[in-house]
Amino acid sequence: MSTKEKIVELWEQLYPQIPLSRLYSFLEQLEVQPVRLETTDWYKDAVVYSLYVDLFASDFDGLTQKLDYLQGLGVSCLWLLPILDSPMRDAGFDIRNYDLVRHDLLGLEKGFTREEQEQRFGRFLDEAHARGIRVIFDIAINHCSEEHPWFVEAKKTEDNPYRNYFIWSKDPGKYADARIIFKGMETSNWEPWGDSYYFHRFFNFQPDLNYRNPAVLLAMLENFLYWQKLGVDGFRADAIPYLWKEEGTDCENLPQTHLIVKMFRAVLDFVKPGTLLLAEACQKPATVVEYMGQGDECHAAYHFPVMPMFYKSIAQQSNQPIRQILHPSVTPPIPENSQWFTFLRCHDELSLELVYVSEDDRKYIHQNYCLEPSWDFRLGEGISARLSNLFGIDARKIALAYSMMLSLPGTP
């Protein structure tokens, strides 16, 4: 089966009632790009450095000046935390425009042209690639900002064409089994607007996208393709388990979500193989492995459950917590062309979500590492502190933690 035939098959499974003509119009626009990469599984040997451009170097010109330093550290992949246009109410994960970089990061005034963006951001990509450094960035695919033009239009009238880009209900009791992710910050997944409610899994200013509407899927694919064509080497797909909602379920990890991910992968592979699709799924390892499919979904995924076990191991002075979480009975084998990404801290917090951490482990790690009341996050399901502070600025413990991470299988 050709890649295009696979894309058609996935579409028919997702949208059996929607004419194929809509998909064919999209496929006709696809342009196969030359593969720049020496190997399409480059991510398996990468050393990844994660950063906020503004905090690390002010803007992309500043970051370009630091590329030699990063190359000297052995960095072969930069993971840029949110860079797309945003009101910045959630550190950039509330995207206002999927095809624009924030003007301050480009050193441009608001209202810059597409040509100016492509010139400035493209120059940075060229400089990174010249040093053997690939570039990936975050893209929130489950939700957007309430300031996104789609949602601005959707709020106007119930018959607005963009209304169906989002999930609306007269009944805030719908999807009652969907958990509240931001405990202590949100009390409902529904936000009132007029005489209706719109659905959101994260903050109320981040409405969830409605992937039951094929126009949403096609629009997101076009966003991926724009940046792929410009030279971006991959995408961290934020909040990937929540894409499809179904009454009577917890609205996580549903079969249709996996079909959507397969569609993302198939289109990216068709246009330019080796474009990394990296899953951010805060779930148990056996569930996360499913986002790699048979090697036809995400190329890689973060191993969230191993992160807190680094801290437990150091507190207990034992390697058993890590050995247990990596045992095949807990972390199943993955497809040959897939990879785990390991890390000690993420940009959010030391996550202790009960989805993948036991209550006993959560309490133990929280008691040992939440040294200040202000560090508590999500009612005990996270600790918001820097790595050095978590280890009491003890250089030996910090070095030990990094040594442990670098000794494990996977991409650090």
Amino acid identity for residue 96 in this structure = R
Given the residues 54, 280, 361, 381, the one annotated as active site: 280
* Secondary structure element (H or E) that encloses residue 377, with its range: strand 376-377
Task: Print the SS3 string covering 72-137.
Answer: HCCCCEEEECCCEECCCCCCCCCCCEEEEECHHHHCCCCCCCHHHHHHHHHHHHHHHHHCCCEEEE
Neighbours of 243 (CB within 10 A): 28
Distances (CA, A) of 312 to 112, 316, 320, 363: 49, 6, 9, 11
Element (H, E) at 49: strand 48-51
* 280 is known as an active-site residue: yes
Q: How far is Cα 19 from Cα 12, in angstroms, rounded to an integer?
A: 9
From the list 85, 238, 361, 381, the catalytic residue is 238
- Strands (DSSP E) found in 118-243: 134-140, 168-169, 190-193, 196-199, 234-238
- DSSP letter at 329 equals T
Distance CA 77, CA 234 (A): 10
Q: Is 238 a catalytic residue?
A: yes
165 vs 27, 97, 199, 379, CA distance in Å? 21, 15, 11, 32
Q: What is the set of active-site residues?
A: 238, 280
